[in-house]
């Protein structure tokens, strides 16, 4: 192969894989209807009459990896196939910061109904990298821009400490992210055109406690003269 010549990607080509997307979608929709949240790769291949290596290559190209048990998440297969087939518009997203809040968000399965699907999660803690959370393998921050580019990500969820938020948000914006759901307790300075939704959890809690205190005071009996 001559220098500069394009190399064929590993696994099936997008065109050959597209013919199988409808199979993955229908099969996993049925499995979900039966209450099955996971399926072994070999069982998925057998159920569709496909070669195991073909299914494994398809899943890798779609960004779907087996969990710790070796099984695939049926909801994720269905959601990815659904998006690739154009059956439902959905905003693919990345999540940065796998603390307790980030892990809870990554594990929540209800975002798809509201137009967001988390494609990948990131952290800079070596103890967390490589582990699975909510069906996602925690990736190192070094891969952030590559994933954003490959999956054309335009939405990000930020659950990092305040001191790290601005630097990560700047990287997200430069990589092409157009909207950030920010849970870090800090105001982000980003280029015009990048939409930021701030969720100030501690401020909200403080306001709630203040409202509760006022409500309690209103219920107190009037002081006697």
pTM, two decimal places:
0.58
- Kindly state the average pLDDT of the residues 29-33: 90
Q: What is the mean pLDDT of the chain?
A: 85
pLDDT at 45: 94
Q: Are 32 and 76 in contact (CB under 8 A)?
A: no
pLDDT at 224: 60
Q: Which two tokens stand for residue 71?
A: 């099984």
- Kindly state the average pLDDT of the residues 39-55: 94
For the chain, the structural domain boundaries read: 14-84, 91-205
CA distance 96 to 125: 11
Kindly report the CATH class assigned to 14-84.
mainly alpha
CA distance 108 to 134: 7
Q: Which two tokens stand for residue 117?
A: 């699907």
Maximal CA-CA distance, the chain: 97
91-205: CATH number: 3.40.50.720
Q: What are the tens digits of pLDDT across the range 70-109?
A: 999 998 898 888 878 876 667 889 999 999 999 999 988 7
pLDDT at 4: 34
Q: What are the tens digits of pLDDT across the range 147-198?
A: 998 888 999 999 999 999 999 999 999 999 999 999 998 999 999 999 999 9
């Amino acid at each position: 192969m001559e220098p500069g010549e394009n190399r064929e990607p590993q696994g099936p080509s997008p065109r050959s894989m597209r013919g199988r997307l409808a199979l993955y979608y229908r099969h996993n929709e049925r499995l979900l209807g039966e209450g099955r949240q996971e399926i072994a790769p070999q069982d998925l291949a057998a159920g569709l009459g496909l070669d195991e290596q073909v299914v494994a290559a398809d899943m890798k190209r779609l960004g779907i990896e087996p969990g710790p048990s070796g099984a695939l998440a049926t909801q994720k297969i269905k959601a990815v196939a659904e998006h690739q087939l154009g059956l439902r518009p959905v905003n693919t997203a990345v999540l940065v910061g796998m603390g307790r809040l980030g892990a809870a968000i990554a594990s929540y399965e209800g975002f798809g109904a509201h137009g967001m699907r988390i494609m990948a999660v990131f952290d800079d803690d070596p103890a967390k990298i490589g582990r699975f959370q909510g069906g996602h393998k925690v990736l190192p921050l070094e891969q952030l821009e590559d994933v954003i580019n490959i999956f054309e990500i335009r939405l990000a969820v930020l659950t990092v400490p305040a001191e790290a938020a601005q630097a990560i948000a700047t990287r997200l914006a430069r990589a092409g992210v157009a909207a950030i759901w920010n849970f870090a307790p800090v105001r982000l300075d980003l280029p015009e055109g990048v939409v930021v939704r701030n969720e100030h959890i501690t401020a909200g809690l403080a306001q709630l406690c203040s409202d509760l205190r006022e409500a309690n005071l209103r219920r107190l009996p009037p002081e006697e003269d």
